[in-house]
Amino acid sequence: MTTDPRFANARPVPYWFDTVAESAVCAPATSDCACDLAIVGGGFTGLWSALKARERHPDARIVVLEAKGCGQDASGRSGGFCAPSISHGVSNALSRHAAEAETLIRLGQENLDAYALDLDRYGMNAGFQRCGKLNVAATPWQVAGLNDMARKYERFGIAHTLLEGAALREKLDSPVYGAGLFEPAYALVNPAMMVSELRRVCLAHDITIHEQTAVSALTRDGAGMRLQTAQATLTARQVILATNSAEPLLRRLRLSIIPIYDYSLVTEPLSEAQWTSIGWTGPHGIADSGNQFHYFRKTPDNRMLWAGYDAIYHYGSARDEARLQRPESFGRLADQFAAAFPPLAGVRFDYTWGGIIDTSARTTFFSGLAGGGRVAYAMGFTGQGVSASRFAALTMLDRLDGADTERTRLKMPSRLAVPFPPEPLRSVAVSLAQRGLAHEDATGKRSRFLKLLDAFGIGFDS
Ligand SMILES: Cc1cc2nc3c(=O)[nH]c(=O)nc-3n(C[C@H](O)[C@H](O)[C@H](O)COP(=O)(O)OP(=O)(O)OC[C@H]3O[C@@H](n4cnc5c(N)ncnc54)[C@H](O)[C@@H]3O)c2cc1C
């Protein structure tokens, strides 16, 4: 609860949830059953896995087990920025995966093109727009970063435009940002509509979805696997784990991700004149370029989503619904909003929410096999999984099918990221990294601790 008048009318739920019609809950699993493929998790990764498995195996019995409702976690809470990347951007591919950077960059672009084709093919209306993204810089070192990004884009033939002065003000007019780089290949999607459409299409393709069905244990069972839920036991020939930031069911993955909380605001609807007053007349999304960055976009009913910056870790990797509301972070975001958009300083916020990011020390997803080849997993998207989840789903299916593909040959997802240390060291390491990132944002200088992490290919992001 907050007494801040800027949030007087705010609903403490993701704005996106209000953009889709409520649909009947898919019944929980109440009786034991056997299936060919059980998928744990009904976010983007789980639902793409189900749909793509159906394309490959028309007669298979496919069951999705979702602890809450489909898309209630990261997928439905996200900003909906669809990156033409599976590697958390071009710079990350080059700095951490130089040997296969070119392949990663191409596969990221192909994945987003194929994502758009899938939407058409299945008639999914998810508010998908290929409207581009503007990256903006607030400090001289961020401007240098954008110039460096432009050189890399040049090298890989990626369309982009560097913007300053009047050209920038045509896309965004803010006293905070002095330069920009526009990349037209980026897309935006309404994340709750996307979940809802994937869920609808899965159901239409004879995929069983059980919501409010948490899997509490996964064990071997003869030639298959056994999944324990509160009311039923399922046996499956193969299993996909798409549980993102939740504590992984496989013990071996528990040190590979940590939950980081990220927060979002959505304003009241803005008038045409208000959008014009900040120069934002196009449909594109925007993100600023600090380590602690904001991402912002328009909603279909002319509100602004303004999100990011804080990346909060809680001791012991606490995962707790109550922490999805954080007045301190909302207040900070609102102050930063007022500084970025002085003409909008009196605007109220109608929605506040948080979400948990599955941060991996490599800032990209990893995927592998367990249970003697019967279980595939993918997680660790670190805040860039809206489009990469589709690619991760295909990677897991390739692995379960025993197929040797360009996806399974990639080194980036095939190796587990450097594990996070156990507590209390974990909190100390996260805090040192965060302080280093804040220091770099303020001064442009990288701390010794961050340089040490860089040397080991370790990153911290959200
Ligand atoms: C606030 C926020 C903003 C983001 N913005 C962007 C963005 O703009 N662009 C972008 O690319 N990425 C963004 N991301 C990241 C992106 O949302 C995720 O990478 C992506 O949604 C991951 O999809 P998923 O299906 O793997 O995870 P989730 O959507 O989290 O789904 C996992 C599901 O598994 C279920 N589950 C977990 N454990 C169990 C269990 N034991 N039994 C049954 N079910 C279980 C959960 O209930 C959950 O529904 C954002 C993330 C957050 C939190």
Residue 331 pLDDT exceeds 90: yes
115 conformational bin, left if phi > 0, alpha if psi -120 to 50, beta if neither: alpha
Report the nearest-CA residue for atom 35 of ligand 1.
41
Query: In this structure, what are the phi and psi dihedrals at residue 377, rounded to the nearest 5 degrees?
Result: -135, 155
Separation CA 43–CA 365 (nearest Å): 15
Other Cβ atoms less than 10 A from the Cβ of 333: the count is: 23
Confidence at residue 289, expressed as pLDDT on a 0 to 100 scale: 93
Q: Is the CB of 43 under 6 A from ligand 1?
A: yes
Residue (of 266, 348, 353) closest to 306 by Cα position: 266
Report the nearest-CA residue for atom 9 of ligand 1.
81
Confidence at residue 39, expressed as pLDDT on a 0 to 100 scale: 98
Q: Show Cβ contacts of residue 272 under 8 Å, excluding neighbours closer than 6 positions.
A: none
Q: Is the CB of 42 under 6 A from ligand 1?
A: yes
Which helix (H) or strand (E) is 47 found in, with range? helix 44-56
- Give the residue-averaged pLDDT of 132-151: 96
Residue 415 pLDDT exceeds 90: no
- Confidence at 214, pLDDT banded by 50, 70, 90: very high
Q: Is the CB of 108 under 6 A from ligand 1?
A: no
Separation CA 60–CA 57 (nearest Å): 5
The overall average pLDDT reported for the chain is 95
DSSP-derived secondary structure letter, 420: P
Cα→Cα distances 363→2, 230, 271, Å: 33, 33, 37
What are the tens digits of pLDDT across the range 180-210?
999 999 999 999 999 999 999 999 999 999 9
**Token digits of residue 453:** 């992490």
Report the nearest-CA residue for atom 34 of ligand 1.
41
Q: Show Cβ contacts of residue 394 under 8 Å, excluding neighbours closer than 6 positions.
A: 48, 52, 407
- Confidence at 461, pLDDT banded by 50, 70, 90: low
Between 154 and 290, the more confident residue is: 154
Confidence at residue 462, expressed as pLDDT on a 0 to 100 scale: 61
Share of the chain above pLDDT 90, in %: 89
Confidence at residue 198, expressed as pLDDT on a 0 to 100 scale: 98
Ligand 1 atom with the smallest distance to the CA of 365 is 19
- Confidence at 449, pLDDT banded by 50, 70, 90: confident
Separation CA 138–CA 177 (nearest Å): 4
Confidence at residue 455, expressed as pLDDT on a 0 to 100 scale: 77
DSSP-derived secondary structure letter, 290: S
Between 252 and 451, the more confident residue is: 252
Separation CA 399–CA 201 (nearest Å): 24
Residue 458 pLDDT exceeds 80: no
Q: 107 alpha carbon to ligand 1 midpoint, in Å? A: 21
294 conformational bin, left if phi > 0, alpha if psi -120 to 50, beta if neither: beta
For every residue of 218-239, DSSP letters joined together read EEEETTEEEEE-SS-EEEEEEE
Q: 386 alpha carbon to ligand 1 midpoint, in Å? A: 9
Q: Residue 239, class by beta-carbon neighbours within 10 Å (0-12 exposed, 13-18 middle, 19+ buried)? A: buried
Q: Is the CB of 285 under 6 A from ligand 1?
A: no
Q: Is the CB of 239 under 6 A from ligand 1?
A: no
- CA pseudo-torsion sign 266, 19, 115, 210: positive
Q: What is the pTM of this model?
A: 0.97
- Confidence at 416, pLDDT banded by 50, 70, 90: confident
Report the nearest-CA residue for atom 14 of ligand 1.
383
Cα→Cα distances 330→261, 334, 335, 353, Å: 12, 6, 9, 9
Is 194 in a helix, a strand, or coil?
helix
Q: 192 alpha carbon to ligand 1 midpoint, in Å? A: 12
Q: 438 alpha carbon to ligand 1 midpoint, in Å? A: 26
Q: Is the CB of 73 under 6 A from ligand 1?
A: yes
What are the tens digits of pLDDT across the range 98-140?
999 999 999 999 999 999 999 999 999 999 999 999 999 999 9
- Confidence at 1, pLDDT banded by 50, 70, 90: low
- Give the residue-averaged pLDDT of 29-56: 98
